[in-house]
Every structure is written in structure tokens, then in C-alpha cells.
A and B are shown apart, each in its own frame.
Chain A
Amino acid sequence: MSVFVSADLAHIVSDIQTIGRNCEYGIIQRREFKVEPISLLRWAGSRQRDKLVEAFRCRFDGLAEVMTGRGDPPAAAPEAQHWWLVDSRYDILFHTDVMVGGNTLEQARQKVQARLRRAAEMQIEAIEDADKLFLYSDATLGSAHDARGLFEALRSIGPCWLVVVVSEPARAGRAELLGDGLIGGYVDRLTTMSNATDYDFGPWPSMLAEAHRIWRAHR
């Protein structure tokens, strides 16, 4: 597998930006490739796909206006916890680097609001420019086609491409063109919201390389 973890693949991984559903791909970028791009949804979890679609349709209007939150890890002392904030309108959970100790929920929200809104601007601009391949992985999807609503929401912003990663062990490590702008990517299994660090890296490199090749050949 080490043949895939090359400078070229790190470059490929930098070209592919996550839009959810959880942090799995963001963790893979960091741990396996030492890649650290700015991305609104990289350290986030979108708990309802239809709300994520709405977020893109609205260009994240009003993001971080109203948020609820809790400390993580839950059992730790406040001085060892970071705030996890949930945007109430779009039901997206954001990890933050704001400590619970010394910061009320409202103080934490104020600290991350400007950052999230600037990241949202950058997200929309990246979709308009279409010089990234966007990636959506979701353990609850039966088929990549089930994310078509999300793809159409992205396409209402710009001519970008989307690879939808689903769990399909028989085709793990492969990717295929599903239609103009839409790619299916396949892995053995995907993590859920609560276990994003427990990923199976095996099929990811070849799947990402193939999805990137398809994108570069057809865009």
C-alpha cells in the first residue's frame, strides 16, 4: 500500500475537499497524508442530509447565528474539553478549538462565528471556481445516486464535480463515472458520526486516485 502514499497522492488528496458527512476524510487527510486544507465541513458532522442540501441552496446564509453546544470529550474536565457547536438552522455539528474552561457557549459561538462564515464564503467560492473535486461520504447511503439532491445543490452554485463515497465491499478501492459531474467511490466500510477515527484506510488511496483521474479526464 505504501506505493500509493506518495507525494503525488498527497497532491491528489489536497485537490479533493470534503463536504461531509463526518470527519472521516478530514482525519485521513491529516493522519495519512499530512495535508491540512481549510475547509468548512472538514471538522464537522451534518446530521441531516436534507439540511445540508438546504445549506448549499442557501449558500450557508445565517450560519452560526444560533448554536447549541457541549463539551468534548464528554467525561473530561472543562479545562480539557473543546466546544462542539451545532448550528441550529442546518443541524451541522462543528468541532472547534475553543476550550470549554473559560468560555461560555455564547462566547464560544462568537469566537467561531466569523471563522465559520469566512470558511463558508471560501467553500462557495471553491464550488464556483470548480477547481476542487468535492467528496461526500455517508454510511447511510444505499447508493451514490442517493446523493443526487446534494449534487444538484452544488451544481446550482457552480460547475463542480462530486465523488460520493459509499460502502460497497465488492467494489472497494474503485471509482466510476456515474454521469456528468458525478462519480461513485467505493470502500469496504464507512464510519459513523461517533467513530470517525475508526476508518479502514485500505481502499481509500486507490479509490481517491481513480476518482481524481476521472475528474481530471472529464471536467
Chain B
Amino acid sequence: MTEQEIYAALSEVFGDVFLRDDLALTPGLSAKDVPGWDSFKQIEIVMATEQRFGIKLRTREIDGLKSVGDLADLVSLKLQR
């Protein structure tokens, strides 16, 4: 899966979680940029990402996520394994 494809799939994930179709995902986008991105939404993002890509994220991996770019990198790494 290319980086572009990962971002496209993550855009669908974020759109479903936040019920918005206007969120432009960039590597630097983080919780402070999106109203309502709290820990409830964070776990929904994790679960939807796991389901969308067929992967399982470990707790310490999730703890290390600071931005959408970190999530995309982690997804890419998981898909390569």
C-alpha cells in the first residue's frame, strides 16, 4: 500500500469517526487541531484503523502517536511486516 493510499484510507476513517467530510489529513494534524478529538475519539480512531487495515496496534505504539503522520507511519510499518 502506498503512502497516498494509506492517507486516503485514513481520511475515510477520520470522516466516519468525526462525521465530517471536510477534514484534510496532513502529517502534522493532531488532536489540538480538531475540535472534539478527545480520548473517546482516539480509541474510535484506533479501532477503526485496526479494522480498516486488518492490523492490531499495541498499547505502547498507540501511546507514541502524536499526529496523523505518526499513525500513517505506524500503519505502513505494520503492513510491511
Interface residues of A (CB under 8 A from B): 14, 34, 36-39, 42-43, 96-97, 114-115, 118-119, 122, 125-126, 129, 131
Contacts and interface: CB of A to CB of B under 8 A. Distances in A.
Nearest to A118: B47
B49 to A, nearest CB: 12
Contacts of B20: none
A46 to B, nearest CB: 18
B31 A38 contact: no
B39 interface: yes
Interface stretch (B21-29, B56-64, B69-77): B56-64
Interface residues of B, number: 15
Nearest to A115: B43
Nearest to A14: B63
A97 B38 CA distance: 10
B47 A36 contact: no
A122 B59 contact: yes
B47 to A, nearest CB: 6
Contacts, number: 39
Nearest to A122: B59
B81 to A, nearest CB: 18
Majority secondary structure of chain B interface residues (helix, strand, loop or mixed)? helix
A39 B47 contact: no
Contacts of B38: 36, 97
Interface string B32-54: 10000011101110110000000
29 contacts: A14-B63, A34-B32, A36-B31, A36-B38, A36-B39, A37-B39, A38-B39, A38-B42, A38-B43, A38-B46, A43-B39, A43-B40, A96-B40, A97-B38, A97-B40, A114-B47, A115-B43, A115-B47, A118-B43, A118-B46, A118-B47, A122-B62, A125-B58, A125-B59, A126-B59, A126-B60, A129-B59, A129-B60, A131-B60
B76 to A, nearest CB: 22
Contacts of B60: 125-126, 129, 131
Contacts of A118: 43, 46-47
B19 to A, nearest CB: 12
A36 B43 contact: no
A129 B60 CA distance: 8
B55 to A, nearest CB: 13
A97 B19 CA distance: 14
A196 to B, nearest CB: 16
Nearest to B38: A36
